[in-house]
Amino acid sequence: MPTNEMCDECGAPQVEGFTCWEQLGGLIAWEYTDPALHAQHFLVVACYNLQHPAQFSAAALAGLWIGFNDYLDHGVSTATLRQRAARHYAGATRVLRPEAEHQPQLQRWAMTIADVYLPDQPEGVVERLFRWARIIQAYHVAAQA
């Protein structure tokens, strides 16, 4: 039975009863058998997080956007991004907002994780992932303009 259940933040529909968070788990599980996808683990998590910003502090989110753009456009390696994040978060900088302050706001996107994690179709997932990332990036660029 199809349902109308959807995420109240990214707007992704449930897929086979999986919430968007569970779809992320499904996508990450694919990484174990798909080295090309595994190599893009940073992008998988970054895309998901950028479509679920309510849990992050403003500073963490700003850092995530910078890393995301550096990765997509400037080929900065995930090792460098990890080091940078470790330095950045080593201090008292708060990464997550307290649960009580989460105020998810529904935003509709041209693509969500439900368009990337197609349970019957693991092939082509990396191409779908990059399309997803570019849509998120284009939105961000438009929002900054």
Residues binding Zn ion (CB under 5 A): 7, 9-10, 12, 20
Smaller CB separation from Zn ion, 9 or 81: 9
Report which DSSP code applies to 84.
Answer: H
Smaller CB separation from Zn ion, 20 or 125: 20
Smaller CB separation from Zn ion, 9 or 60: 9
Asked if residue 117 lies in contact with residue 26, where contact means CB atoms within 8 angstroms, the answer is yes
In whole angstroms, the minimum distance from the beta carbon of 76 to Zn ion comes to 26
In whole angstroms, the minimum distance from the beta carbon of 24 to Zn ion comes to 9
Burial 62-72 (b: 16+ CB within 10 A, else e): ebbbebbeebb
In whole angstroms, the minimum distance from the beta carbon of 136 to Zn ion comes to 13
In whole angstroms, the minimum distance from the beta carbon of 119 to Zn ion comes to 17
Residue 97 CA to chain centroid, in angstroms?
Answer: 17
Smaller CB separation from Zn ion, 7 or 60: 7
